[in-house]
Amino acid sequence: MALYEYIAPCHFGTESVLKREVVSLGWEITAVDDGRVAFRGDAAALAKANICLRTAERVLWKAGEFEARTFDELFEGTRAIPWEELLPENARFYVAKASSVRSALFSPSDIQSIMKKAMVERMKTRYRTNWFPEDGPVYPLRVSIRKDTVTVGIDTSGTSLHKRGYRVSPVMAPISETLAASIIGLTPWFPDRILVDPFCGSGTIPIEAAMIARHIAPGIGRSFLAESWTTLPDSGIFKRAREEAEEAVLPEALAKCDLQGYDIDEHAVRCARENAEKAGVAKLIHFQKREVKDLRHSKPYGFIVTNPPYGERLEDRAGLPGLYAQIGEAYKKLDSWSMFLITSYEEAEKYIGKKADKNRKIYNGMLRTYLYQYLGPKPPKKKGEKGL
C-alpha cells in the first residue's frame, strides 16, 4: 500500500488538538510546526481528512520539500519535483499562496512567478510540448518557506474547511467553525456535560459541540477540489469516505447532551436556530435571547465556552469593562463550572475579577487572542466507573 504525506494547516496555538484528531483517525504524525500538522497516510486519507478533520483549515498533498536561499535554488528545487506524476497535461496549475518566515526569499510574487516557470519547464520536457492548455482540473499550490526550507503542497480542499455549509444565516464577526471546534477540543468537555455559550452569535460553538455529540463529520455535506482530479490513485475514495462518515452519525435521540446558546440580539438568535437546523442539530440546542448577567443553571459541573466581544471597533471599547465584569459575576455564581473564553481584550482577567488557571495564545487570522481557561472541579465518578 502506497503511503503519501499530507499537511494540514490550522490556527496557530491549536496544533495539539489537530494532532490528536489525526492520531485518532489512525495516521502517523510526521511533523508538528507552528500552524500546521504533517502526517502520513494512504490515498484514502486524502478524502477522509477533508471530510472528518474538524480543526484543519485545509488538506495539502505534499509535493516536495527542499532548501533554497536564492531564486536559482528555488527554480531548480521546484523543477526537480516530478510534476508529471502529480498533474495531468491539461491541469490548471499555479501557486495560489506563498509565505515566508525567517528566510532569504521573501517576495511572494517573485516566489509564485519563479515556481510557475520551473513547473512549466519540467512538464515541457516530460510531456514533450511547449504549450499547455490549462483547461482541465485545478491544482493550486500552497508554498511555505520557513528558515529557508521550501515546503510545497497541492491544495486538495479548495474552499477552506471552515466552510461546513451550515452557516446559511451569518451575523457580524462570527467565530470560524474550525476555531470553535479547536476551542472545544482544548477543553475537557464531553457530550454528557452541560455547555453554554452566552455570546453565541450565529451559534457556531454550540453547533460544533452538537455535531461532535452526533458524530457528524464536518465536511460530510460539501465538496472538495480534489474530487475533480483525474490523477487520484483511487477514484472512489471520496464516495467511500462519505458513506463511512454517514454510517457513523448518531440519531438525535441517542446524542445525549445539554447545549445552550444565548445572545442579546434577537436576529442573531434566529440566525443560530436556522444554522443549527441546516447542520442537523436543532433539537440538541436551546437558543434564547438573554443577557450574560442573567446566566444561571441549576446543574453543576457545566462549561461556559464563549467568544465575547473584543471591542475591535473603537466605539465598542468603552463598554468592555462592564461587560467583562458581568461575565465574572455570572461565572462566580456557577461555583462548580469551568469557563473557556477567547478574546483579544487584554484586560479580560482584570474585569472578570479572577486570574485564569491557564491561558493559551491563539491567532485568529492575524489577530492575537488568548483562550482564558478557568478550571472548575471534576465531577465525582459515576457508580461503577474506574479510575485511570
In order, the DSSP letters of 205-266 are HHHHHHHHHHT--TTTTS--GGGG-S--S-TTHHHHHHHHHHHHPPPGGG----EEEEES-H
Q: Are residues 116 and 193 in the same domain?
A: no
User: What pLDDT score was predicted for residue 383?
Assistant: 67
The C-alpha cell that represents 365 in the structure block: 487570522
User: What pLDDT score was predicted for residue 388?
Assistant: 33
Q: Are residues 204 and 272 in the same domain?
A: yes
Q: Cα-flanking dihedrals φ and ψ of residue 144, to 5°?
A: -125, 130
Domain assignment present for residue 326? The answer is yes
Residue 268: give its domain's CATH number.
3.40.50.150
**CA-to-CA distance for 265 and 173, rounded, in angstroms?**
14
Domain assignment present for residue 147? The answer is yes
**Partners of 152 in the beta sheet?**
64, 143
Q: Are residues 208 and 283 in the same domain?
A: yes
Give the range of the structural domain holding residue 69, as residue numbers without chain letter: 4-155
**CA-to-CA distance for 222 and 242, rounded, in angstroms?**
10
**Half-sphere exposure (Cβ direction) of 57: Cα atoms closer than 13 Å:** 14
Residue with cell 478574546: 343
Rounded average pLDDT per 10-residue block, the chain, 388 residues: 94 98 98 97 97 98 98 98 95 97 96 98 93 96 98 98 90 89 98 96 97 98 96 93 98 91 96 96 97 94 95 74 97 96 96 98 93 95 56
Q: Are residues 142 and 263 in the same domain?
A: no
Q: Please provide the size of the chain in residues.
A: 388
User: What pLDDT score was predicted for residue 110?
Assistant: 98
Domain assignment present for residue 190? The answer is yes
User: What pLDDT score was predicted for residue 256?
Assistant: 86
Residue 104: give its domain's CATH number.
3.30.2130.30
Q: Are residues 184 and 319 in the same domain?
A: yes
**CA-to-CA distance for 22 and 209, rounded, in angstroms?**
19
Strands 338-343 and 303-306: parallel
Q: Are residues 73 and 105 in the same domain?
A: yes
* Count of domains for the chain: 2
User: What pLDDT score was predicted for residue 255?
Assistant: 87
Q: Are residues 277 and 198 in the same domain?
A: yes
Domain assignment present for residue 230? The answer is no
Strands across the sheet containing 92-101? 28-33, 36-41, 4-9, 60-67, 149-155, 138-146, 92-101
> 97 CB contacts (<8 Å, ≥6 apart)?
108, 142, 143
User: What pLDDT score was predicted for residue 313?
Assistant: 62
**CA-to-CA distance for 114 and 160, rounded, in angstroms?**
26
Domain assignment present for residue 382? The answer is no
Q: Are residues 202 and 346 in the same domain?
A: yes
> 13 CB contacts (<8 Å, ≥6 apart)?
360, 361, 362, 363, 371
**Single-letter code of the amino acid located at 368:** R
